[in-house]
Each structure stands twice: as structure tokens, then as C-alpha cells.
Amino acid sequence: MTAVSSNETHRIHPHKFTLWVAIGSICMMFAAFTSAYIVKRNQSKWLDIDLPSAFWVSTIVIVISSITIHLALKSFKAREMSRYRLLITVTAVLGIAFCLSQFYGFSELKNNGIQIFGQGSNPAASFLGVIVGFHVLHVLAGVIAILFIFIKAYSSKVKNYSGVPIEMISTFWHFVDLLWIYLFIFFMWIR
């Protein structure tokens, strides 16, 4: 008897592949930002900035949101739709809370006399504004995607149980979480 081998290949979904390419591009962009920060900080007029306390809060918020989206994905796969709806709602709220805490952090900096952009700004503050600002934009993109699946989860139309959208959003959300942790540690360590 001869063994029959299966030549089936496990292919990644095209949308997931595109997401991974986008994540790779985003990683390169933030690597360039943080590299430029390191090079620029050795020049004159560099101001060491203590991160606002709101950034600590936002770090806790985004880590918790990463847990809730992971649990939402598990609930979706287990067809526990009421739990999935609750967890995806909590994740969306936490994503918005993260963005608000970031804006509050910049307000805190401004109240401490640190101008981020424009006249009276410092290169350190401007770098912080650009890098964190771009991260917030990516989180907002994730929140918008979560809101789309949130609406879909509560839609009364025929249900589509494809896990691809929630898997992609979960992957992206974990990525922006890890990216924020990297940036937070970077700004705490490299001043």
C-alpha cells in the first residue's frame, strides 16, 4: 500500500495577507520615526519631556481592550453572540477612551507649558506629537473598523458567520496595542 499525501496548501486569506503587509509598512514607518527621534535628540535645544500621567492610563486602557477583543473573537468562534456583542462594545468604548486619554495627555503637556507644534515648540515635543499622533490615527482606524463590526453584530439582517473580519480586526488591534507599549517604553527610556 502506498500512502496518499495531500498536496493541499494552506493559504492565507487575501484580506489577511493585505493586513500583514500594511502592518509591516506601519512598523517600518514607526521604526523610521523612532530612529529619527534618537538621531535628533543628540542635537541642541532638546528638551527632556516627562510623559503625562494620562499616557499611563491610556496604556492600561489599551491593554485591557486587547484582552476584550481577544475574548470577543473567542466568543464569536464559540457562537456566543450576546457575549461577543458585549465584548466588542466594551472594546470600542475602550478604544475611544484610549484616544481621549491621549488627547488629555497632550492637554496636560500644554498646561505644563510644553508647546507641541508651532511657535514656542521644541523638537522633542514635536516628535512626541507626530509619533503619538500617528499612533492615535491608527487606533481611530481600528475603532472605526470595530464600530463596523459592532453595527453588523447588532444588525437584524441575515447573519454571516465568517470569522475573517473579527480575526483581522483582532490582529490589527493587538498590533496597535503592542505598538503603543513599544512607544510608551521608548519614550520612557529614551529621553
**Structural domain of 112:** 49-189
Half-sphere exposure at residue 33, Cβ-oriented, CA atoms within 13 angstroms: 22
pTM score, two decimals? Answer: 0.85
∠120-126-129 over CA atoms, to 5°? 125
In the chain, how many domains are there? Answer: 1
The closest alpha carbon to 83, from 68, 96, 97, 93, belongs to: 68
Tell me whether residue 21 is in a domain: no
CATH at 79: 1.20.120.80
For residue 159, the SS3 value is coil
Answer whether 95's CB lies under 8 Å from 180's CB.
Answer: no
Q: How does pLDDT run across 23-69, given as a tens digit for each residue?
A: 999 999 999 999 999 988 888 778 888 899 999 999 999 999 999 99
Tell me whether residue 28 is in a domain: no
Answer whether 115's CB lies under 8 Å from 18's CB.
Answer: no
